Amino acid sequence: MTLAKRIIPCLDIKNGRTVKGVNFVNLRDAGDPVEFGKAYSEQGADELVFLDITATLEKRKTLSELAKKVASNLNIPFTIGGGISSIKDAETLLESGADKISINSAAYRNPSLIDEIAKRFGSQFLVIAIDAKKMENDWIVHLSGGKIPTSTTLLDWSREVTQRGAGEILFTSMNHDGTKGGFACEIMAKVSQSVSIPIIASGGAGSSEDFYDVFTKGKADAGLAASIFHFGEIGIADLKGYLKEKGISVRI
C-alpha cells in the first residue's frame, strides 16, 4: 500500500507574527498564525509546522502560549520548533499541544539529545530539521537560522540523526528557499534513498508541478511550503486535486 503524500503549510513565526523571506532573509509580515492555522486545518492540510525562526538565534524559547492558541484551533497533527534544547523544552511543547517537535541547531550541537528525546517520547514525536546549502561540490549543514555553516554534509548528518532515533527529517534547501523555482529534487532523492525515515521537503515551492516533481523525482514523503499558501497563490484543495489527477496518492 502506498502511503499518502502529505501537504504541510509552514508558519514561520517572529515576534508572534507569521513572516516569510527569501533565502532566509528579508522577512515580511504575512499575518496572524492562529488564523492561518485554523484556515489550513479547514482547507485540508495534512499537518501544520510552526517554527519560531529566531528562537535559537535570540536565545529564547518557543512561544508556547501562542502554540497553545494555534493548537486549540486545529484538528490535524501539529509540529513545533524553535529554541528547543532540552527534554524539559520538549515536555513543555508536548503539554502546549504539539504532536511533534522539530529540532535543528540544538540537535547538531548536542547529538545525544536526539537519542534522549526519542527514548523518552518515541521517534514519532521527533522531527530533525536540517537547513543545508550547496557550497562548491557538496551540501553543507547550517545552524542558527542558516547563519552558521558547519563542516558536516547533509547526507552524513541525515544518516546520523536517523541512527540516533529521529522519526522524520525536514530538509530545507537554503539555495531554493522562497525562490519559488522548485524544490532541490536531486539532493532530496539522495537523502530519501540514504535513510529509512520519511523526508519532508522544504524550500522552493512555487507551483503545483513543483510538488509533483518533489514527490516523483525527489522521492519526498511530504511537501512543505509557506508563502504560496499564505498569500493565496495555491489553494490546498486545488493542489491535492491536481496531484490526484497526476496519480499521486493524497488524502482528499
Phi and psi at 54, nearest 5°, equal -110, 10
Q: Is 12 a catalytic residue?
A: yes
Looking at residue 234, its amino acid is I
Go through the chain and tell me how many residues it has: 252
Catalytic residue among 12, 46, 52, 213: 12
Q: Is 131 a catalytic residue?
A: yes
Burial 75-91 (b: 16+ CB within 10 A, else e): ebbbbbbbbbbeeebbe
User: In the chain, what is the straight-line distance between the N-terminal and C-terminal CA atoms, in Å?
Assistant: 17
Catalytic residue among 131, 177, 213, 221: 131
Contacts of 144 (CB under 8 A, 6+ apart): 56, 57, 105
Q: How far is CA 228 from CA 40, 181, 211, in A?
A: 13, 12, 12
The whole-angstrom separation of Cα 148 and Cα 135 is 13
The residues that are catalytic are: 12, 131
